[in-house]
Chains A and B, each alone.
Chain A
Amino acid sequence: MVATKETIDKIKEVSGTYKYGFVTDLEAEKAPLGLSEDIVKFISHKKKEPKWLLEWRLKAYKKWLSMEAPNWAMVDFPKINFQDIYYYSAPKAKPKLNSLDEVDPELLRTYEKLGIPIKEQEVLAGVAVDYVFDSVSVVTTFREQLAKEGIIFCPISEAVQTHPDLVKKYIGSVIPISDNYYAALNSAVFTDGSFVYIPKGVKCPMELSTYFRINEQNSGQFERTLIIAEDNTYVSYLEGCTAPQRDENQLHAAVVELVAMDNAEIKYSTVQNWYPGDKDGKGGIYNFVTKRGNCIGKKSKISWTQVETGSAITWKYPSCVLKGDESVGEFYSVAVANNAQQADTGTKMIHIGKNTKSTIISKGISAGKAQNTYRGQVQIQKKAKGSRNFTQCDSLLIGDKCGAHTVPYINQFTPYARVEHEATTSKISEDQLFYCLQRGLDTEQATSLIVNGFCKEVMKELPMEFAVEAQKLIGISLEGSVG
């Protein structure tokens, strides 16, 4: 509990501004600016990748060239110049690290500033962490202990070397390279990310966690995460992200693929806190992420929980393909947009197997001049008899200059299933606010309390370590939006 208190104290220090906006002064190795076939080859070479992966990357690159950036999302931003981005940036190569002591002290200080220092993670004793700094995974903790159970938790670039068969089999199996514009881009230039493999019958004894950080100027981050859960397994995976404060926009285009076999359960939680830009919308991260889970096995379950408070623009739809009979998909989301932030986020639940079930709970909060959109699809295919979906998306508006939008799609191809959707949009009720003020809270505290109550259904799905942080984050994100 000491550690938790430390977290709270850390956050208390922060006074309303983006606390992760520091830059770590590290020597970095960068690829030349811009994107070309040579850059793709360079990245692949740098990673000492096998030939098949290079070919796969080049195929993705060709596909990407033939595609157009999607424009259907309710977000507005100038066209991205893909030639003005560094596609590879890594802290200068050091010999392979075995323990934290060998890590560059500058880096360690960065982790401490990130709010959940590594030491604390160790105290909590339940979390193994993989840190991805710009494009490269820097350190992974608790690997030996995990290895005893047969669990593989390592940077994906390492998995390519050590477990090429697994990577080859599953990479792109859930999100093919041609899936969408940003997924194709990621497939061509992804530099690192986490790889998790849970062998049959193993329940992962601790939470796995990754921290992503963009440090270098003008660099994009393209990480790729692949999680495979074999029969009768359980894994809970956490992901957090931050970036320095910079005036220009930086691109983050990640791909996350999950595969769940018979009776497997994957719980994937995200606290996304990329730099959102300043009050006028200058700078900030463009967060264009493709996340999808494939419930292949019978009775498998994939659960997405996300707290989205950062990024200038969020474009993200963690989805579940429910192929296995009786598989379950869940999506719990809180998206907070303040100032000039724009979020277009939601989920897709594709029911293919019999008796599949999905639940979607989405809470959107808009303040300032922000636009917040829920966009979701529930599709019940012909063979998905006995399937069930329940969707609830609520939006809360704070201030009269923001917008909240809801765009759900329901497509049902069989009568033997039921889909229910409900959505509401409103502001914080005067009664609730009055009640809190009367008890001596100021408007800001009262708003924070009410908003956290509004999000409670989602917050309770988060692992404990994240729940505390997420709750504070929401408070911080909304600071300055009332009164």
Chain B
Amino acid sequence: MLHNIKGNYITSVKDHVRQYNEKSFRKLASNNFKSWPNPREETWRLSRLGVLSRKEITPIIPDYKKNFSSFSKFNGSKIIRFVDGALREDLSSNLPPGLSLNILGEEDSLRCFHKFKDSNLKDHPSTNVSFSCTPSIVKLTIEKDVKIRDFFEIIYEGGDDNLSVHPALHIELKDNSSITIIERFNHLSSLIMPLQLVELKKNASMNSLKIFNDSQQSYNLSANCTFLSEKSNYNSFSLIKGGLFTRSETHAYLKGKNCNLNLNGVYLSSKNQHHDLTTAIYHDVPKCTSKQIVRGVLGGESTGVFQGKVRVAPDAQKTDGQQMSRAILLSENATANAKPELEIYADDVICAHGATVGEIDDEQLFYIKSRGVSEKKAKLILITAFLKDIINDTVEESIQNFVFEEAEQALSEIISKEI
């Protein structure tokens, strides 16, 4: 078999693109993939991938006959389904007018590739591997002035042991359009490398909810590159609960004045899970606001990482950048890491970040216990409140309950062992 070269993922990626010519974006991307990130590299110091180089993994060849029909979580929502990293229109809903789904040709794919190459995601392993190995880059376009009220669910499924999947999605919101997209990652693969390019044109608005819930042995290295134009609004929330190792990395470029960005997230980690939320926000123009709120609950021997960088360019006056991360450790063997970073080259700005790590607050616990509540119950109340707080503050009202239910499952798993 062509794709069964033992232990060397780089070779199998190269094999995967053998049939393409030298100018193809796949070849260009595969030439850039030379090794897994070295733990000495600053952005990968806290989340190490060394174990991947010892695993026998090959890129998947999608099976278009596989049938998946996991149910939607919402009544009447539209579904787009990716199986083995490939779009399955036969398993997806019909799209309403004003919305289109296309498979990109070579030229447009190359353009997407260059968007990543010009960003600081250029050395992310998913950038190079997934552009090499994705079945195709799928583009979802929301036309001008179209406001989609139904929820859109994108479900990623499939994959298998020792195989890597490479879904690649390009979302473009044209002027004055808006949409809410819920993405659910439910892969069975050893390695998942999703790519997402989001482009928001003038006055466009997008709510994004990502739920990472891959199988217990999975490595998910999600790379997201977002561009915001004037007066656009991007509101994203990531819930990381599954997988053995999940890193959601988002780079957002604020390119138009008066745009607004929210990158929020929660990680709920138990057993030996490693969860990482990495963000980089680039304020390149004046008068934009960005806000990040991240919370984590850690049990077992899990590790949580939050790395958030806010860069304010010399011209980006009147920037308002806020960042707050909090983690609660419930187990003696859990670890929390935080690295909130500010890089500021403009003077007329308001930027702040805060980070706390600790256990449940003693005084709060005492207060509840003094009302006759058992310690176990009291802790449960406090942690639930800790999560509800951020969900109510940052998630769109109509999907708050759904997010909380999703979080509760993971939370009960952590709590049942720790309290």
- Residues of chain A whose beta carbon lies under 8 Å from any beta carbon of chain B: 72, 74, 380, 382, 395, 397-427
- Interface bin, chain B: 35 or more
Residue of A nearest to B342 (CB): A406
Residue of A nearest to B324 (CB): A422
Q: Is the CB of A404 within 8 A of B358?
A: no
Q: Is the CB of A423 within 8 A of B329?
A: no
Residue in A397, A412, A423 whose CB lies within 8 Å of B353: A423
Residue in B334, B347, B352 whose CB lies within 8 Å of A423: B352
Q: Is the CB of A419 within 8 A of B341?
A: no
Q: Is the CB of A403 within 8 A of B345?
A: yes
Shortest CB-to-CB span from A34 to chain B, Å, is: 30
Let me know if B181 is at the binding interface, CB within 8 A: no
- Whether A405 touches B349, Cβ cut-off 8 Å, given contacts A412-B335, A419-B357, is no
Q: Is the CB of A412 within 8 A of B344?
A: no
Q: Is the CB of B330 within 8 A of A415?
A: yes
Q: Which residues of B contact A411 (CB under 8 A)?
A: 335-337
Complexed CA–CA distance, A395 and B356 (Å) = 20
Q: Is the CB of A410 within 8 A of B336?
A: yes
- Whether A424 touches B352, Cβ cut-off 8 Å, given contacts A398-B347, A403-B344, A414-B332, is yes
Complexed CA–CA distance, A421 and B334 (Å) = 20
Q: Which residues of A contact B114 (CB under 8 A)?
A: none
Residue in A380, A382, A426 whose CB lies within 8 Å of B332: A382
Known: A418-B356, A427-B347. 14 other contacts (CB 8 A): A400-B346, A402-B347, A403-B343, A405-B344, A406-B341, A407-B341, A411-B335, A412-B336, A418-B358, A419-B357, A420-B354, A421-B340, A425-B344, A425-B352
Q: Is the CB of A409 within 8 A of B337?
A: yes
Complexed CA–CA distance, A404 and B339 (Å) = 16
- Whether A421 touches B358, Cβ cut-off 8 Å, given contacts A382-B332, A415-B331, is no
Q: Is the CB of B354 within 8 A of A423?
A: yes
A-B residue pairs, 3 tightest by C-beta: A415-B329, A418-B358, A397-B347
Q: Which residues of A contact B317 (CB under 8 A)?
A: 400
Let me know if B390 is at the binding interface, CB within 8 A: no
Complexed CA–CA distance, A334 and B25 (Å) = 50
Q: Which residues of B contact A419 (CB under 8 A)?
A: 355-358
Let me know if B98 is at the binding interface, CB within 8 A: no
Q: Is the CB of B351 within 8 A of A425?
A: yes
Q: Is the CB of A418 within 8 A of B346?
A: no
List 14 A–B pairs whose Cβ atoms lie within 8 Å, in order of A's numbering.
Answer: A397-B349, A401-B314, A408-B339, A409-B337, A409-B339, A410-B355, A411-B336, A415-B332, A416-B332, A420-B354, A423-B352, A425-B344, A426-B351, A427-B348
- Whether A413 touches B342, Cβ cut-off 8 Å, given contacts A406-B353, A425-B349, is no
Residue of B nearest to A378 (CB): B357
Shortest CB-to-CB span from B27 to chain A, Å, is: 32
Residue of B nearest to A404 (CB): B344
- Whether A422 touches B353, Cβ cut-off 8 Å, given contacts A415-B331, A427-B347, is yes
Let me know if B118 is at the binding interface, CB within 8 A: no
Complexed CA–CA distance, A419 and B325 (Å) = 12
Complexed CA–CA distance, A404 and B342 (Å) = 8
Q: Is the CB of A417 within 8 A of B347?
A: no
Q: Which residues of A contact B339 (CB under 8 A)?
A: 407-410
- Which residues in chain B, 251-296, are within 8 Å of chain A measured between CB atoms? none
Q: Which residues of B contact A417 (CB under 8 A)?
A: 357-359
Shortest CB-to-CB span from A433 to chain B, Å, is: 13
- Which residues in chain B, 207-261, are within 8 Å of chain A measured between CB atoms? none
Q: Which residues of A contact B337 (CB under 8 A)?
A: 409-412
Q: Which residues of A contact B90 (CB under 8 A)?
A: none
Residue of A nearest to B362 (CB): A418
Shortest CB-to-CB span from B289 to chain A, Å, is: 15
Q: Is the CB of A424 within 8 A of B351?
A: yes
Shortest CB-to-CB span from A375 to chain B, Å, is: 10
- Whether A395 touches B344, Cβ cut-off 8 Å, given contacts A418-B359, A421-B355, A426-B350, is yes
Complexed CA–CA distance, A414 and B330 (Å) = 9
Q: Is the CB of A418 within 8 A of B342?
A: no
Complexed CA–CA distance, A82 and B339 (Å) = 34
Shortest CB-to-CB span from B96 to chain A, Å, is: 45
Complexed CA–CA distance, A400 and B313 (Å) = 10
Complexed CA–CA distance, A382 and B301 (Å) = 12
Shortest CB-to-CB span from B202 to chain A, Å, is: 27
Shortest CB-to-CB span from B185 to chain A, Å, is: 27
Complexed CA–CA distance, A404 and B351 (Å) = 11
Q: Which residues of A contact B334 (CB under 8 A)?
A: 415
Complexed CA–CA distance, A226 and B136 (Å) = 63
- Which residues in chain B, 312-333, are within 8 Å of chain A measured between CB atoms? 314, 317, 327-332
Most buried by A among B329, B337, B344, B346: B344
Q: Which residues of A contact B327 (CB under 8 A)?
A: 412
Let me know if B107 is at the binding interface, CB within 8 A: no
- Whether A72 touches B42, Cβ cut-off 8 Å, given contacts A409-B337, A410-B338, A413-B335, is yes
Residue of B nearest to A422 (CB): B354
Q: Is the CB of B344 within 8 A of A415?
A: no
Complexed CA–CA distance, A114 and B339 (Å) = 41
Residue of A nearest to B356 (CB): A420
Q: Which residues of B contact A380 (CB under 8 A)?
A: 357
Complexed CA–CA distance, A271 and B355 (Å) = 30
Q: Is the CB of B350 within 8 A of A400?
A: no
Most buried by B among A397, A405, A410: A410
Chain B, residues 347-388, CB within 8 Å of chain A (1/0): the string is 111111111111100000000000000000000000000000
Residue in B330, B332, B347, B356 whose CB lies within 8 Å of A421: B356
Q: Is the CB of A408 within 8 A of B356?
A: no
Q: Which residues of A contact B341 (CB under 8 A)?
A: 405-408
Complexed CA–CA distance, A445 and B185 (Å) = 59
Complexed CA–CA distance, A411 and B355 (Å) = 11
Q: Which residues of B contact A398 (CB under 8 A)?
A: 347
Shortest CB-to-CB span from B37 to chain A, Å, is: 15
Q: Which residues of A contact B328 (CB under 8 A)?
A: 415
Chain B, residues 147-159, CB within 8 Å of chain A (1/0): the string is 0000000000000
Complexed CA–CA distance, A426 and B355 (Å) = 18
Q: Which residues of A contact B338 (CB under 8 A)?
A: 408-410, 421
Complexed CA–CA distance, A425 and B341 (Å) = 12
Q: Which residues of B contact A408 (CB under 8 A)?
A: 338-341, 355
